[in-house]
Structure 1
């Protein structure tokens, strides 16, 4: 028989049993919610889900902004053995309908702010039988009716291998797929990163710019704080602004600040006080590589060291990371304890140090696969190794440096060019806030590098100046042959640049 393990019980119930029920679990827009109160709401949501007919291992789609209701709904689904499917609530209803229809979810719980998308969503997902909204009566079931009782909120018997939750990932390709995770994956990710790298305690206050519907934000805002009985600071407003984040940081005093490189760059250029992040013991960055220039500017301005790393939806959180003891700007750091990494060539042979190759990773938090994506499963899940699609080199002393996505690399003049290297060089120029480099074929059908650049506030980008800047810093074949000045870059909701959109443009 399997040993019983329910992630909801681990994250929530045991804090009440161990006397931490009165501790603050969530701070959201000035309101405090204790662990006992979160448990009561979770039991009410679990009762509501069961009364609407949701059974173990059936799916319920969450179309929700970060909130206490989101936390309770996610935990309640785990509690009853059902499978919460986390989706991006800012997507148009028709796009959500495609994802939810693919998941075969029978029920939706949505933030009331997103209720306008429900008609289009349901049109695209006709198998949905019930829709619940978090306030008012804009859904088929109101939140008040849904949570009126806690009579049937008990735990379903699950184990670490039981189906847990699904996360939607499109990466930088734009093709949505659902990564399937187990109950035990949450514990595995916590033990590996939060325990070994951050050494989290119940005294910590977690604040994540990344939203909870993404793997990164889910661990930042739920798994890691709830695992130790700490406090999670939530903010439903999307997208956030530097001013809003600064206000929350100044008021709520987080000790751990989870962010993404593009937003750290925005904070570097925002008109906010230098002591805004004085309570933060470490910043954490993921989603895209953090340029060394952005790292240094943030540390110089705010006095906070940012630990850059790389993770994935498939592995749930960060598996390569800089650490408090060993931090090398411009790299993704070293393997997090509990994960193993390899760099391989196109035939799957291990590459020596300082040689480019594809990154493979394995660890206990790995997804079991993608829902109904046989071909992608076969190319991504290689036994217990996962092909990340990222290109890396490893230094002789074990640090990993990101050089781009396998499908982003450019072959120019017979040499491989890493967009990440060229972008990092451009960002070092004080007039450039963000940059994205893609390949473009000229009149002679020769592939050339083209740079899309976003100016820093109140500055102008001079392409001739950037040409000269790169001339002294990059080999000739790596230099962009053309510059496009733009107001922003297309990105995923987690901050990854969607270079395929620039190529198609």
Structure 2
């Protein structure tokens, strides 16, 4: 009987598309669907031999590799809950996640041998498996476990219902400790169907996955939906613009999601890569003038903005091709099966065009945070997830992002959306990136301050930026302070850490 276990997808594809290419690893090794399904079976049998059970939570600590993808699928086949671990965290932070989640099993790469050893000593790990050669005391070596499996070793897909937990993804923890976002088997089914519809995925697509697989962008944009479409997933060994461009050209990539800084890097490459096969490019948080520049460089490519969060199992909307020019700056209309509302402080829906908090519900929305009743009570109401973001819906039902509620600047009784100021500054021809926050001011309580990265050093100064703003913004919105910087603090998904900027400006 078919259930909601994602690993069953490979059974279907091995029958229907057994000879088609399913996966291209970070080292160029290739798997057909039949080969991938067989390898997942072997890995599932190996994990069971190591002691992994359907009742376990299994942490995976590794970079984007074929082994990582196969292990995600093998854990699903066994029926355990997978927890992709953020390898950028300190070992102390990792230990918190292991303890808070209740992780009993760990799979790790050689690069993270020391972290694995500390986690084994400091937490309640019961099973540890080394993916490579560096085996800590008491751990199993994956290669030996695989070699011990008889030819044709098979493991039945565990039966899972829509509400069963598939995985936990821990947020970056920019405002507090990381929170474990629950993704159910039903969340995945809903997201994969939406990805296929919205991105028009077919078996002929070749999707590049460069975002880390511990992040929802790597796993679900479209991520694992690639296999549902019968398409090919291609992995990159690094996040460097030149590596991503080289692989995209060599593998004739048709779709990819890029962080803003990588997008800028690719646009500045000389010579530019041949991206003639590319159908779509998914990115968020860039100014309209940057999007126009991308479109001018790649006129045949659909440029997609999105509104997404880990709690939404990636995106809640994508900008459609028909409106990417006429609705430039909008984030798209809701996915099939997703409802978005804009509400006021009394949780009442506001008229179209009015700003308010963005709330979302639907089959792909996480049911809550793992072992965190307080956070669930704060962010869920009447079946809706409260995003904490401010936006508006236009008359056609397209979502426009205004700001994070915590990023609104209150100056002299007026609310200033930092995102609005950022959009204006980003239109300056010498500006590469910008972040705007509110800083204390004796007269106005708060005033905007802009942190600006220039395309070329010394190409513009603070007063140039302010003059540009005066030509496009009300005077009270113009940053009182402008600081030219070489970089901005970021979290593991590449988003700017405004909290750190605020702490820097107001350390008390």
- Could you say whether these structures have the same fold, taking a TM-score greater than 0.5 normalized by the shorter chain as the test? yes
Q: TM (normalized to structure 1)?
A: 0.94
Equivalent in the alignment of 2:336: 337
For residue 470 of structure 1, report the CA deviation from its aligned partner.
Answer: 0.3
Equivalent in the alignment of 1:5: 4
1:306 to 299, 303, 308: 303
Partner Cα separation in structure 2 for residue 300 and residue 459 of structure 1: 27
Equivalent in the alignment of 1:473: 472
Partner Cα separation in structure 1 for residue 414 and residue 457 of structure 2: 37
Partner Cα separation in structure 2 for residue 458 and residue 411 of structure 1: 32
For residue 397 of structure 1, report the CA deviation from its aligned partner.
Answer: 2.4
For residue 165 of structure 1, report the CA deviation from its aligned partner.
Answer: 0.8
Partner Cα separation in structure 2 for residue 418 and residue 366 of structure 1: 27
Does the 8 A contact of 2:108 with 2:129 survive in 1?
A: yes
Q: Say yes or no: does 1:230 pair with 2:228.
A: no
Equivalent in the alignment of 2:198: 197
Q: TM (normalized to structure 2)?
A: 0.93
Does the 8 A contact of 1:207 with 1:221 survive in 2?
A: no
Q: Say yes or no: does 1:147 pair with 2:153.
A: no
Partner Cα separation in structure 2 for residue 366 and residue 494 of structure 1: 20
Equivalent in the alignment of 1:175: 177
Taking a change above 3 Å as real, the CA distance of residues 471 and 330 of structure 1, as seen in their structure-2 partners, is same
Corresponding residue SS for 1:218? helix
Partner Cα separation in structure 2 for residue 8 and residue 166 of structure 1: 17
Does the 8 A contact of 1:431 with 1:461 survive in 2?
A: yes
Taking a change above 3 Å as real, the CA distance of residues 190 and 339 of structure 1, as seen in their structure-2 partners, is same
Partner Cα separation in structure 1 for residue 61 and residue 157 of structure 2: 24
- Alignment coverage as a number of residue pairs: 495
For residue 444 of structure 1, report the CA deviation from its aligned partner.
Answer: 4.9
For residue 488 of structure 1, report the CA deviation from its aligned partner.
Answer: 1.1
Partner Cα separation in structure 2 for residue 134 and residue 90 of structure 1: 18
RMSD: 1.8
Does the 8 A contact of 1:221 with 1:233 survive in 2?
A: no
Residue by residue, what CA displacement relative to the aligned partner does 1:83-109 show, whole Å, maximum 9, x if unpaired?
001121222222212111211111111
Partner Cα separation in structure 1 for residue 477 and residue 83 of structure 2: 42
Any gaps of 5 or more consecutive residues in structure 1? Answer: none
Partner Cα separation in structure 2 for residue 278 and residue 116 of structure 1: 43
Instruction: List aligned pairs for 1:43-54, cutoff 5 A.
Output: 43-54=41-52
For residue 190 of structure 1, report the CA deviation from its aligned partner.
Answer: 1.3
Partner Cα separation in structure 2 for residue 213 and residue 497 of structure 1: 18
Does the 8 A contact of 1:246 with 1:272 survive in 2?
A: no
Partner Cα separation in structure 1 for residue 333 and residue 87 of structure 2: 34
2:87 to 76, 81, 89: 89
2:34 to 19, 22, 36: 36
For residue 472 of structure 1, report the CA deviation from its aligned partner.
Answer: 0.5
| Between 167-176 and 334-343, the greater mean CA deviation after superposition | 167-176
For residue 392 of structure 1, report the CA deviation from its aligned partner.
Answer: 0.2
| Between 320-329 and 416-425, the greater mean CA deviation after superposition | 320-329
| Between 295-304 and 438-447, the greater mean CA deviation after superposition | 438-447
| Between 405-414 and 441-450, the greater mean CA deviation after superposition | 441-450
What stretches of structure 1 move > 6 A for 4+ residues in a row?
Answer: none
Equivalent in the alignment of 2:322: 325
Q: Say yes or no: does 1:26 pair with 2:26.
A: no
Corresponding residue SS for 1:369? coil
Corresponding residue SS for 1:99? helix
For residue 121 of structure 1, report the CA deviation from its aligned partner.
Answer: 3.0
Partner Cα separation in structure 2 for residue 420 and residue 484 of structure 1: 17
Corresponding residue SS for 1:346? coil
Any gaps of 5 or more consecutive residues in structure 2? Answer: none
Equivalent in the alignment of 2:406: 407
Does the 8 A contact of 2:108 with 2:131 survive in 1?
A: yes
2:61 to 60, 63, 66: 63
| Between 356-365 and 40-49, the greater mean CA deviation after superposition | 40-49
For residue 430 of structure 1, report the CA deviation from its aligned partner.
Answer: 1.7
Does the 8 A contact of 1:261 with 1:294 survive in 2?
A: no
Q: Say yes or no: does 1:290 pair with 2:286.
A: yes
Partner Cα separation in structure 1 for residue 135 and residue 427 of structure 2: 49
Q: Say yes or no: does 1:78 pair with 2:76.
A: yes
Does the 8 A contact of 1:359 with 1:388 survive in 2?
A: yes
Does the 8 A contact of 1:21 with 1:36 survive in 2?
A: yes
Instruction: List aligned pairs for 1:359-398, cutoff 5 A.
Output: 359-398=358-397
Does the 8 A contact of 1:309 with 1:322 survive in 2?
A: yes
For residue 152 of structure 1, report the CA deviation from its aligned partner.
Answer: 5.7
Partner Cα separation in structure 2 for residue 172 and residue 325 of structure 1: 36
Taking a change above 3 Å as real, the CA distance of residues 301 and 4 of structure 1, as seen in their structure-2 partners, is closer
Partner Cα separation in structure 2 for residue 502 and residue 276 of structure 1: 38
For residue 359 of structure 1, report the CA deviation from its aligned partner.
Answer: 0.3
Residue by residue, what CA displacement relative to the aligned partner does 1:136-171 show, whole Å, maximum 9, x if unpaired?
133421121232316462222222222211111136
Partner Cα separation in structure 2 for residue 454 and residue 161 of structure 1: 45
Equivalent in the alignment of 2:211: 210
Residue by residue, what CA displacement relative to the aligned partner does 1:16-73 show, whole Å, maximum 9, x if unpaired?
122x122111112322122222222211221122223222232000112111111111
For residue 399 of structure 1, report the CA deviation from its aligned partner.
Answer: 2.0
For residue 3 of structure 1, report the CA deviation from its aligned partner.
Answer: 6.5
Partner Cα separation in structure 2 for residue 297 and residue 155 of structure 1: 47
Q: Say yes or no: does 1:165 pair with 2:167.
A: yes
Does the 8 A contact of 2:119 with 2:125 survive in 1?
A: no
Does the 8 A contact of 2:236 with 2:244 survive in 1?
A: no
Partner Cα separation in structure 1 for residue 103 and residue 42 of structure 2: 21
